[in-house]
Homo-oligomer: A and B are copies of this chain.
Amino acid sequence: MELTIPSMSDIKRAHTRIARHILQTPVLTSHSIDEMVGASVYFKCENFQKVGAFKMRGAVNAIFSIVPENRTKGFATHSSGNHAQAVALASKMAGVKAYIVMPSNSAEVKKNAAIGYGAEVIFCEPTLKSREDTLKKVIAETGATFIPPYDDPAIIAGQATAAKELMEEVVDLNVVMAPVGGGGLLSGTALACHYLSPKTAVIGAEPELADDAYQSVKKGKLMPAKPPVTIADGLRTSLSPLTFEIIRNHVKEIVTVSETEIVDAMRIIWERMKIIIEPSCAVPFAALLKRKEEFKGQKIGIILTGGNVDLEDLPFGKSFAK
């Protein structure tokens, strides 16, 4: 199978295409975090993005890449996370219907968020097979176009625009760090740096409990995901052939972190920066804290990916296996 790697032009066109539909999120810094790490850290705040996550970039790019004549039957996806909200809102912006397949055990708040953006939510069993079967059925019945969460060049080009904006605002970054789940953001980030700032190293960060990207890069072949148990619920998915190909070529290293390290990092950002990030979003900062001796004095960019948490079920004060 021929893999379509997004080009520099694809990323630039994506940025132009999505610019008026998304927020150009701020880049924040913190003196106390810089002191703690011994480096200058620039946080690209996609937790402030529409729907509260970078996923909006890819979804908007994928949907608006399609000519209006082919958008009329709407868009469909299966997701219980931020991609669901992103497809729902991007479809609404395009003036068409979104069909979101969600496991029946999804949180009420996520269901209501998608419905709030005007999407039709279809429930399925909480298994990948049921999700895929239900999605096929929905598409067969409605004629909607599938918007995949990460395994797609338009999605990757869209996610790449976060790093592009970061590098336009902060020059000469030594490193850009992003978390890796399915790899859409990390592969987009890696391509953006490769094209626009080749001296900038890209480092992926992953929970130890979901280290399929780390294992895949180490073994040189795509490794399956582990059972989805990490608190970083956005990172429980595994790489696709396309995202793996980009990551193996353009990402310097994948650093893994424990559940405790994730929650500790999340807490530091909440307490020091007074901003809300979700557990998945804390993973790169956890990796930086763990390996800070290697980054002394450097300029580090971190993509803060999202801020959607259940305020009634926060991890602070809970115990996590080390």
C-alpha spacing A270/B270, complex, angstroms: 11
Would A274 and B314 count as touching, CB distance under 8 A?
no
**Shortest CB distance A202–B (Å):** 25
User: Which residues of B are found within 8 Å of A273, using beta-carbon distances?
Assistant: 48
Is the pair B314, A271 in contact by a Cβ cutoff of 8 Å? no
Closest 4 CB pairs of A and B: A274-B307, A312-B317, A311-B316, A274-B276
Closest to A30 in B: B48
Contact code string A293-322 (vs B, CB < 8 Å = 1, else 0): 000000000000001000110101100000
A81 → chain B, closest Cβ, in Å? 16
Give the nearest-CB partner of A267 in chain B: B311
A48 pairs with B312, CB closer than 8 A: no
Question: Are B311 and A274 interface neighbours, CB within 8 A?
Answer: no
Task: Provide 16 A-B residue pairs closer than 8 Å at the C-beta atoms, listed in order of the A residue.
Answer: A26-B26, A47-B274, A48-B273, A52-B274, A267-B311, A270-B276, A271-B311, A274-B275, A274-B276, A274-B277, A274-B307, A275-B275, A311-B316, A312-B316, A312-B317, A314-B314
Which residue from B47, B48, B311 sits with its C-beta under 8 Å from A314?
B311
Nearest-Cβ distance from residue A168 to partner chain B, whole angstroms: 19
Chain B residue numbers with a CB within 8 Å of A267 are 311
Q: Report Cα–Cα, A198/B267, bound state, in Å.
A: 42
Per-position 1/0 for A271-289, Cβ under 8 A of B = 1011111000000000000
Q: Which positions 215-268 of chain A face chain B at CB distance < 8 Å? A: 267
Interchain CA distance A163-B308 in the complex, whole Å: 31
Q: Are A48 and B274 in contact (CB-based, < 8 A)?
A: yes
Chain B residues, CB < 8 A from A312: 316-317
B270:A311 contact, CB within 8 angstroms: yes
How far is A316 from B311 in the complex, measured between Cα atoms in Å? 7
Interface residues of A, Cβ cutoff 8 Å to B: 26, 47-48, 52, 267, 270-271, 273-277, 307, 311-312, 314, 316-317
CB neighbours (8 Å) of A271 from chain B are: 311
Which of B277, B311, B316 is the one whose CB lies under 8 Å from A317? B311
Q: How far is the CA of A314 from the CA of B311 in the complex (A)?
A: 9
Contacts A275-B275, A276-B276 aside, 5 further interface pairs with beta carbons under 8 A come to A48-B273, A48-B274, A274-B276, A275-B276, A311-B314
Q: How far is the CA of A316 from the CA of B316 in the complex (A)?
A: 14
Q: Which residue of chain B has its CB nearest to the CB of A315?
A: B311
Residues on B with beta carbons closer than 8 Å to the beta carbon of A307:
274
Closest beta carbon of chain B to A285's beta carbon, Å: 16
Q: With a CB–CB cut-off of 8 A, which chain B residues contact A277? A: 274
Shortest beta-carbon distance, A107 to chain B, in Å?
A: 13
| A277 CA / B274 CA spacing, docked (Å) | 7
What B residues does A317 contact at CB under 8 A?
311-312
| Distance A316 CA – B276 CA, assembled complex (angstroms) | 15
CA distance A47 to B271 in the complex (A): 11
CA gap between A26 and B273 in the complex, in Å = 13
With CB as the reference atom, state the residue of chain B lying closest to A266. Answer: B311
